Structure 1
Amino acid sequence: MTTTKQIVTFEQYLTYNDGTDTRYELERGELIPMSQPRGGHGEIMHFLERSFTTEIERLKLDWVARQAAVGVRVPQVGRRDTSRVPDVTVLLLSQWKNLRNREAVIELNEEPPLLIVEVVSAGTESRDHRAKRAEYNILGIPVYLLVDFLDFDQNGKAVDKRVTVLTLVEGFYDEAVYRGEEVIQIPTFSELKLTANQLINAGR
């Protein structure tokens, strides 16, 4: 995945339009194209959004789950702005409604999402597992879930297929990794019983 060399502010990013359908994240002032995900990537996003929504409705919670529809602003690094667009975001219903008439980006002075999911693509391993982990930790996001589902990475190396759940405890993420038929423990949805294989093989 390549980046443009143009440096923009957060305000410019919110209204940026290059005349194409390309969507971008903002990373330290640089526009990062969000490439069209593989079918499996989209299936996992859809599966999780649907699973979370079903659980939210069952428990009658005032939450919503949204697929690639909510941005999250990250504190500046070296005076350059960062804003992420997670694959799936769970947030308060009231917060989602407040985004209806403005850019759907959660600002630094607003409550962080309850849960964020990133489905790892070829070439985004370091960004998802390292950079975003640090950023979401700083923001105080309670649970960060990563799904590594690909057979091979961009270098042709076999991927360790797994689901990683990062839970914020006293300011730091505790990490739990699930593989195969292990049931994933998601603190946000403690009664939801999904195995790692169900996520990794969603849609197959």
Structure 2
Amino acid sequence: MVQTRPLTFADYLAYADGTDICYELVRGYLVAMTPPTWQHLLIARYLERIFTAAIESIGEDWIAVQGAGQQIDEETSRLPDVMVVPMSAIQDAGESTAILQVAAILAVEIVSPSSVADDYLHKLAEYEAKGILERMHLRIQPT
């Protein structure tokens, strides 16, 4: 796809190119996400399970999720690897796209060698500006 103009968040929600490619919206432009490695997926799954157990033990009305997005502003929407979100923010969302518009409680990025700069420089600042109080970056070390 050749993008000729910046997209809005509403454009992003409506965008469909008929492929399985996941995109983030970054300052109005679509950025294709590199498919994750198995290691990346297993770490995300492990974290989701750990967070779910912790949430249950403290009795909060939260949920840990993978695959949902976090709107940052009208030009940017990110796809954290794992988020903890308040159920109140999604309980009436039903059929809408799984992109959280209020700040998540926690956003986790599993940092791979190809995403170091973006994850540490841009996403960290964006999550902070959005009001996400807890942010976690896990860096995968090559073996």
Q: Distance in 2 between matches of 1:65 and 1:58?
A: 13
**By how many angstroms is 1:17 displaced?**
1.0
1:33-88 CA-to-partner distances (Å, cap 9, x unmatched) read 1221011100110000000001111222211000122x111235xxxx11111100
- Tell me: higher relative CO, structure 1 or 2? Use CA pairs within 8 A at least 6 residues apart: 2
Aligned alpha-carbon RMSD (Å): 1.6
Aligned-residue offset at 1:23: 1.0
Q: Which runs of 5+ in 2 are unaligned?
A: none
**Aligned pairs (5 A) from 1:129-168:** 129-151=120-142
- What secondary structure does 1:91 align onto? strand
Post-superposition CA distance 1:89-121 (Å, at most 9, x none): 0011121213323222222xx3x1110000012
- Runs of 4+ that moved beyond 6 A: none
Aligned residue pairs: how many?
141
**TM-score of the pair, normalised by structure 1:** 0.65
Q: 2:70 aligns with which of 55, 58, 72?
A: 72
Match of 1:57 in 2: 56
Between the two proteins, what is the percent identity of the paired residues?
38
The alpha carbon displacement at 1:5 in A equals: 4.6
Q: Which amino acid in 2 is paired with 1:98?
A: D
Richer in strand (by share):
1
Structure 1 stretches lacking a partner, 5+ long:
153-204
Decide which structure has the larger Cα Rg and report it: 1
Contact 2:105 2:134 in 1 (8 A): yes
CA offset digits 1:143-172 (Å, max 9, x no partner): 1000101317xxxxxxxxxxxxxxxxxxxx
Partners in 1 of 2:93 and 2:138 — Cα distance? 27
Q: How far apart, CA to CA, are the structure 1 residues paired with 2:129 and 2:100? A: 14
Structure 1 position 8, deviation (Å) = 2.1
Higher percent of residues as helix: 2
